[in-house]
Structure 1
Amino acid sequence: MSMMVSAPLYADDIDVLANALFAWCAERSIKLQSQEGLSAANVAINLYDAGYQTQDRLLGALHDHEFH
């Protein structure tokens, strides 16, 4: 199995990811430590790597993502 290595995350990157993720979880009354919260965190990182690198764009992409 090969793993893709993404660029390192810096403080500003983490702030964008965390703020969007916390907002998304708060809107849905989901705890970040829950399975759904952790799944959203994984999706958020993938979306960030795909170019959604502002809080608004990332939160919008999380809203558009279908979670199962």
Structure 2
Amino acid sequence: MSMMVNSPLYPDDVDILAGALYAWCAERSIKLQSQEGLFAANVAISLYDAGYHTQDQLLGALHNYEFH
């Protein structure tokens, strides 16, 4: 998974990404700074770039993503 973002992220974008990511991590008792948390952050950015632009959409997509 690439860290490259196709378009710039604005403060509202970061708020959406952070909210979904913090919720996902909290549900699983995962620290954001852990390997799994950082991987989830990369996935969240990719999902956001793919069109999941609300916190609910993004959190739902993270729930449906198969982490290995």
Q: Tell whether 2:45 aligns with 1:45.
A: yes
Which structure has more relative contact order (CA 8 Å, sep 6+)? It is 2
Gaps of 5+ in 2: none
- Mapped to 1, the partners of 2:24 and 2:5 lie a distance apart of 26
- Percent identity (aligned): 80
Match of 1:55 in 2: 55
Coordinate RMSD, CA, aligned = 1.4
Q: Tell whether 2:28 aligns with 1:28.
A: yes
Q: Radius of gyration: which is bigger?
A: 1
- Mapped to 2, the partners of 1:48 and 1:31 lie a distance apart of 21
SS in 2 for 1:7: coil
Deviation (angstroms), 1:5: 5.0
TM-score normalized by the length of structure 2: 0.93
Gaps of 5+ in 1: none
Q: Which runs of 4+ in 1 moved over 3 A?
A: none
